[in-house]
Chain A
Amino acid sequence: MSKIRQRNFTFADELPPHADGVMHSYIAYTARKDDAPHRYAGYISAPDISLAVEYACEHYGQDEECTNIWVHLVEDLLETPCAEESIDPDSGADGVDADEDPAWVVFTQNHRGDIHIETATLHAPDSKTALSRAVARHGDSRVQVRVVARDRIDSTEPDQLIWRTHDQTYRLARGYSKSVRTKWAAVRKAEDIDEYRKDDIENHF
């Protein structure tokens, strides 16, 4: 924080008050290219879904190049338990999709720890049926399947600018890059740098 501003700043009196109102938890997904599947990005806390989309743009939309963002309420998600190895597709029941039924987006996870990726869209009358069909169709070799009603997902506008086009390298962590090491090597012993690097990585990761 600015040292100049510290002079006139008393934390007890001047910190902004907590935001009032109800905050909701949302899940955000990013698509790296047009027509590319949406990939789980993370959680967003926001008072409503349109602001959640805006926050997601500034938060996850700047982590890597992306062209579209999806956001939905956490509670709009229905998912299978995470399997140890793989879901048994026979634990689901397939059926015939009717176009007049709501659309559901299917997200799947290949291995524990992997991110969930948009896999398909299907039509079903309700969430349980949708999940059951998703398991039957896409459960094989996956550890988890999720469904979300398409109309519960809000997204960025087509062609909306999310990822900035200017040089972004300044935003991204580049600790211990060659240039940093060269800089440090000018003022510190090599063994001190190695020791600091070791401690720092241990502390942070």
Chain B
Amino acid sequence: MTAMQDMMKDPDVNLVLSLADDLLMLGHVQGDWTGLGPILEEDIASSSMAQDDLSHALVLYEHLGNRFGLDPDVIAYERDVADYRCCDLVTMPDEFDWSVAFVRRWMVAHWADPVLDRLAMGGKDLEDRCRRLRAEQGVHLSYLDDWMRRLGAGPAEARERIQAALDRITPLAGMLMEIPGRDLDVDEDFCCGREELFNEWVTAMDAVLSGAGFIMDITLPARDVIGGRRGEHAEHFIQQHAEMNEVRCEDPGAAW
């Protein structure tokens, strides 16, 4: 059995990979906005945070790499599509609608916050890494919360566009809570309580939304609904994955 197969069979890995893969793909997708942000400084800020997301994924891949004797880049790029644990929300096409891109980032940042808390209980190395990442994801969260409040207090067009984005994304966002493994009873333990995590996530988002005047109706999907976290990815993930790996496939070990 290869080191990669060893890693993928370890249920401890699932939640780490879920977050790492979410951040990797979100950073990749959000990078598409570089040069196209609504104003220059917002463009720079969102690109900076997309870079953060990529490097936060790297920090988590390094943890797994050290544990299983794998190069972090190999973990990031050389797994089969079905071995990616990301939620397909992160690769859902935003069709260059800033409100959709923004609401997605905001929801994922709110999800990452309690997940990093839980991952920090996974031993000293992971605790050290997650403590740093939580502080830095906290910067994103604070920034995005601030923007959500601003948009809520903004003109009618801003409020309508954000509400429309929430309405579009919310039905998909619950899948962030999908149990990332095939053995539901075993793997749910490693998520430290899916319902508890869901409630914590929704409560934190509601606190911001209610202050901003937005409404979100989100439900926890049934635990046997299968999606990206269990390897059943949408076509848009498969396309993004292929594009992300293009250089890697052409020139393994490429560096600059």
- The answer on a CB contact under 8 Å between B93 and A59 is no
Select B45's contact among A19, A54, A167, beta carbons within 8 Å: A54
- The answer on a CB contact under 8 Å between A16 and B58 is no
Select A5's contact among B54, B93, B255, B256, beta carbons within 8 Å: B93
User: Does A166 have its Cβ within 8 Å of any Cβ on chain B?
Assistant: yes
Interchain CA distance A163-B146 in the complex, whole Å: 19
Number of chain B residues whose Cβ lies closer than 8 Å to a Cβ of chain A? 43
CB-CB nearest in chain A for B140: A58
Minimum distance in angstroms from A21 CB to a CB of chain B = 8
Interchain CA distance A183-B93 in the complex, whole Å: 34
Select A166's contact among B35, B37, B98, B136, beta carbons within 8 Å: B136
Q: Would you list the 10 A-B pairs with minimal beta carbon distance, nearest first?
A: A58-B45, A55-B41, A58-B48, A16-B38, A2-B32, A4-B239, A14-B96, A19-B39, A16-B98, A59-B44
A-side contacts of B35, CB under 8 Å: 1
A-side contacts of B139, CB under 8 Å: 57, 161
- The answer on a CB contact under 8 Å between B155 and A164 is no
Select B51's contact among A5, A45, A161, A170, beta carbons within 8 Å: A170
- The answer on a CB contact under 8 Å between B45 and A55 is yes
* 13 A–B pairs (Cβ distance < 8 Å), ordered by A: A2-B243, A4-B239, A5-B93, A16-B96, A45-B41, A58-B41, A59-B48, A164-B52, A165-B132, A167-B58, A179-B256, A180-B256, A183-B254
- The answer on a CB contact under 8 Å between A166 and B41 is no
Interface residues on A, range: 35 or more
Minimum distance in angstroms from B256 CB to a CB of chain A = 6
B-side contacts of A17, CB under 8 Å: 38
Minimum distance in angstroms from B15 CB to a CB of chain A = 20
User: Does B95 have its Cβ within 8 Å of any Cβ on chain A?
Assistant: yes
Interchain CA distance A80-B168 in the complex, whole Å: 55
- The answer on a CB contact under 8 Å between A3 and B95 is no
CB-CB nearest in chain B for A10: B96
Select B138's contact among A16, A18, A161, beta carbons within 8 Å: A161
A-side contacts of B143, CB under 8 Å: 54, 58
- CB under 8 Å from chain B, chain A span 53-67: 54-55, 57-59, 62
List B residues at the A interface (Cβ < 8 Å): 29, 32, 35-42, 44-45, 48-49, 51-52, 54-56, 58-59, 93, 95-98, 132-133, 135-136, 138-139, 143, 146, 150, 155, 236, 239-240, 243, 254-256
Minimum distance in angstroms from B136 CB to a CB of chain A = 5
Minimum distance in angstroms from B165 CB to a CB of chain A = 13
CB-CB under 8 A for A165 and B96, given A54-B146, A55-B41, A59-B41 = no
A-side contacts of B51, CB under 8 Å: 170-171
Interchain CA distance A161-B138 in the complex, whole Å: 9
Select B56's contact among A8, A166, A174, beta carbons within 8 Å: A166
B-side contacts of A8, CB under 8 Å: 93, 95
Minimum distance in angstroms from A157 CB to a CB of chain B = 10
Interchain CA distance A58-B243 in the complex, whole Å: 27
Indicate the member of A5, A17, A62 with the most B CB atoms within 10 Å.
Answer: A5
Minimum distance in angstroms from A129 CB to a CB of chain B = 34
A-side contacts of B95, CB under 8 Å: 5, 8-9, 14
Task: List 16 additional A-B contacts (Cβ < 8 Å) besides A5-B93, A59-B48, A166-B133.
Answer: A4-B239, A4-B243, A5-B95, A9-B96, A14-B95, A19-B39, A44-B41, A45-B39, A45-B40, A55-B42, A55-B44, A161-B138, A164-B136, A170-B51, A179-B256, A183-B256
Minimum distance in angstroms from B91 CB to a CB of chain A = 9
Per-residue CB proximity of A128-145 to B under 8 Å, as 1/0? 000000000000000000
Interchain CA distance A62-B50 in the complex, whole Å: 13
